Structures are given as structure tokens and as C-alpha cells.
Structure 1
């Protein structure tokens, strides 16, 4: 119940592969000799990465906007007809919008839900049967420490990651004995493109420097979790020792006012 070793005629699918954690998942899996199908809506970036990594093991790119159901259907159909066996799925693509739930444009917030939850659900449940039928494979769904508590100012993002985390842990239990595992990757603050917006940069200043992780480290932890068939991976000692338990065990009535106050100060500092 772990990620199979690289072999001719096999591949791992990675979404959100053009940058951040997804790019590092692609690079580290390719370094191990895995064939890959890299998925992103940024055509130039994902095609350039696939061309760079293509070698002894075949690495291909697929341009796909995961907010669009028809494009997800085409991606699934491509995997189903590919002569290579799917042995791994990294559902990594994500959107993080910072701000009050009523301040974020609704269409943008719905796109966040589509990428963070609907696409993860769609790809995991459509592609897992391919691996279950062969009795081998590993799924990695990128959730977040934000999955452990409501976050005013990141309301939809935290809710979407709670969905991913809960779904992943339940699938892990259901898949027991099938030869296929499902791992929930729950990073804390990570230096990726998700904080590249002006609001994201300002929000990032509220996170102590010691709690930041680099995408290379988070990706390595995720792949190790796939290797071991683990249910949940929380990268970083501080996250495991402090932040994850706080989210799970601090009562909501005590934690929410603190979070709300912090977010209000953060938004005030942004002039909002």
C-alpha cells in the first residue's frame, strides 16, 4: 500500500505542476525515474517543465483548467486510454483567496471551490479505480493545516481544505487492503505562488519566519508519505508539535475570536 517503484509503462499524474509544490513533486518524482503526466492551466510553464524533465522516463504535459468539468472529463479520458499504467495521483492544484467571504467576488470564490474541492473529488474518485483494479498505487491530496479550523479571512480556503483532508482520510480507510493508499498532505505556510498576490504578501507577513517551509521540503514529505502509504503528513516539526494540535483541540468558541481579531488587524493594515 505505497507508491510503486518506477517501471517502464507507468506514470504519476501531478496537477498544479507548473509551480510551487506541484513543480517540486514533478521534479522529485522525475529524479526517481517516474514517468509523469503534468497538468496545469499555465500552458507555457507546464509544457516547458515537461520538456525539461522528459528523458529516460516519459514526461508529458496536459493543459487543463480544472474549474471546467468538460476539461476534467477530457483529462480523465486521456489517462484511461494512455498505454501507461497510472500508479500515482497527486491532486495538488489549489487556489487561496485572502479576504472577507463577502468581499471576495463570488465567481472567483466559486473557482476556488472548483479547484480545491470539486476537482480533487472528481479526479480521485474517477482515477482511483484504475489503480484498485491493478492492486497498486498511491494518491496524494494536498490539503493544509488550515483544514483543522475555521479561518475568518480565509473562510472558503479553509473549508475547501477541510473537505480535502476529511475525504482523503476516509478514502485511506476505505482503500485498506486494496493495494492503494490515499495520503492527506497538510503543509503550513509554504513559499509558493499562492502568496504572490499583494494581499497574499501582506497576509504572509503575519506568519513568523520560522514557520515557513520551502516547496522542495513539502514535496519531499508528500512523496515520502506516498512511499509509506501514510494517512496524513504534516511537514515540519513546529507544525506537528504546535499548530496541528491547536487546530484540532482548541475549542472553537475560544479560538475563533482570536483568529477573527488577528484577521481584522491584518485587513486593517491592508487598508481594508
Structure 2
């Protein structure tokens, strides 16, 4: 089953489109001829990106600045797209925190839950009625290989991503035979192909270069998986290793090992 074909009156909606996986997937969808709705907080970045895509690929790009961690802002966005033909949605926006749960800033943790989980939940629900009525559509929710296992010092993130993982895979089976596909993207570490030393985060410094996958390769692999109506795609060597470990290693062993690694990042 292929992705929905580009149409003049349809849009592919991408959240987290101002950077990372979201930006890479928006660029690839534009290359395929899809008109887009780009969603992120930074309007200036989105508008520059929209101009690039329209100039390079001749598509129509709508910009919707929105803080998806804010329930009121999400409701406004959902109202705005209510009558739009959304043929593809990529729920990519997300944040993470590292360190002991009780040491984290509570406002940041609650925003993380709203962005990583509630926004995916609500936006998926918002676009499904139209997709089902047209018997055509593709959903990709970005979970994480980290959502397959309990990881101390990453508790809120794995809480949200475990929910996204299970929710998306459940919908994959529910939607069989409807013409609508649902694919989970569950990556490990993903980043730009080249990062200057002074720009490296603690995660960049802790994880060896050969274990990373790039945003561009992640996007390509994900779109191939969506075209084949695959339930789950896990790009990158470390992501695949984490996926395998979570299925075979006892939690009593994996949790302390992973927890000590994530404590360093905190």
C-alpha cells in the first residue's frame, strides 16, 4: 500500500517541523509533491523553511505556529485544520529530560507529557475522521526505542514514549482494511550528519558517532515503511540494538545498566 498521492487540495501535516526528524520528513514529503502544513513554536524558522520548500519544490506550504504543549493552543490548531483534507500526519514534536524524576523541573515535566503524549493523542484523533471518510490516509507517530523499556533517570520521557508506541501499534491493527495506515517510528539516537564540537550536547558526547543515524536517513527509512504499511520502523544501529535488548534482556539487568548511562546525561 503506497502513501496517499499528492493532491492539490490535500495537505501533509508535520509537527516539530522546525528541526530534526520533522524538518527532514517535511522536506522529503515536499520533494514527493505534497503540499504541507508545518507546525512548531518558532514562526520565523517555519516561514524561512516554507519559503525554501515552495521555491525548491513548487508546493504550497502553510505555517501554523503553535506551542503543542499548551492545551488551548492545540485546540485552536485543531479548530483551524478541522475542514482541511489532511492526507498524511507526522506527529514528530517532542522533548526529553534526563536525571532523577524528583530532581526535574515540574513545569518542564508536565509540558513534556503534554507535548509528547497528549498532542499526539489529540491530533491523531482530529485527523482520523476525514481519513476514514475518504478511505485514504497515513499516520506516523514518533515514539522511541526508549519507550520499550523502563529507564531510570529518563522516567517521564519513557512514560510518554511507551504510551505513543503502544497507542500507535494498536491503531495500526484497528485501521486494517480502512484504507488508512498507521506506522510507529521508534528511533534511537538521531542527529545531524555533522555537528561541530562546540555544538555537541551531552548526549552527542556520550554516544559514539558510529551509533547515530541521521535525520535524513531516518526520514527516508520511515517513508519507505509507511509506504509498505509497516507497523513499526526502528532506524539506526543503536535504536535497533535497544529494540532487541528490550525484547530479550530481563528488566532487572537492563534497567540499572540503562539508568546509569542516562544518569550521566542528567
TM-score of the superposed pair, with normalisation by structure 2 = 0.92
Query: Are 2:207 and 1:217 equivalent residues in the alignment?
Result: no
Q: Give yes or no for contact 2:100–2:154 (8 Å, CA) kept in 1.
A: yes
2:62 — aligned with what? 60
Q: Give yes or no for contact 1:2–1:136 (8 Å, CA) kept in 2.
A: no
| 1:1-272 aligned within 5 A | 1-54=1-54, 56-82=58-84, 85-191=85-191, 201-237=201-237, 239-240=239-240, 242-264=241-263, 266=264
Report the aligned-residue RMSD: 2.0
Give CA deviations for 1:177-236 in whole Å, capped at 9, x if unaligned: 1000111001111116xx99x9x8223322222110111111111211221111100113
Comparing 215-224 with 46-55, greater Cα deviation is found at: 46-55
Q: Give yes or no for contact 1:18–1:45 (8 Å, CA) kept in 2.
A: yes
Q: Per the alignment, do residues 99 and 238 of structure 1 end up closer, same or farther by CA in structure 2, a change over 3 Å counting?
A: closer
Distance apart, 1:60 and its partner CA = 1.0
TM-score of the superposed pair, with normalisation by structure 1 = 0.90
Q: Give yes or no for contact 2:189–2:238 (8 Å, CA) kept in 1.
A: no
Q: Give yes or no for contact 1:54–1:60 (8 Å, CA) kept in 2.
A: no
Question: 1-side partners of 2:169 and 2:262: how far apart?
Answer: 29
Q: Give yes or no for contact 2:152–2:256 (8 Å, CA) kept in 1.
A: no
- What SS is found at the alignment partner of 1:62? strand
Question: 1-side partners of 2:77 and 2:19: how far apart?
Answer: 19
Give CA deviations for 1:104-144 in whole Å, capped at 9, x if unaligned: 10000000010000000010012111101100010000111
Distance apart, 1:169 and its partner CA = 0.1
Q: Give yes or no for contact 2:82–2:126 (8 Å, CA) kept in 1.
A: no
Distance apart, 1:155 and its partner CA = 1.1
Distance apart, 1:238 and its partner CA = 5.5
Give CA deviations for 1:131-188 in whole Å, capped at 9, x if unaligned: 0110001000011110111111211111211111100000011011100011100111
Comparing 42-51 with 88-97, greater Cα deviation is found at: 42-51
Q: Give yes or no for contact 2:154–2:262 (8 Å, CA) kept in 1.
A: no
- What SS is found at the alignment partner of 2:158? helix
Structure 2 gaps of 5+ residues are: none
Give CA deviations for 1:11-67 in whole Å, capped at 9, x if unaligned: 100000001111111111001100000000111101211122125321111001101
- What SS is found at the alignment partner of 1:218? helix
Question: 2-side partners of 1:104 and 1:217: how far apart?
Answer: 32
Comparing 174-183 with 68-77, greater Cα deviation is found at: 68-77
Comparing 29-38 with 45-54, greater Cα deviation is found at: 45-54
Question: 1-side partners of 2:18 and 2:262: how far apart?
Answer: 30
Q: Give yes or no for contact 1:3–1:138 (8 Å, CA) kept in 2.
A: yes
Q: Give yes or no for contact 1:51–1:60 (8 Å, CA) kept in 2.
A: no
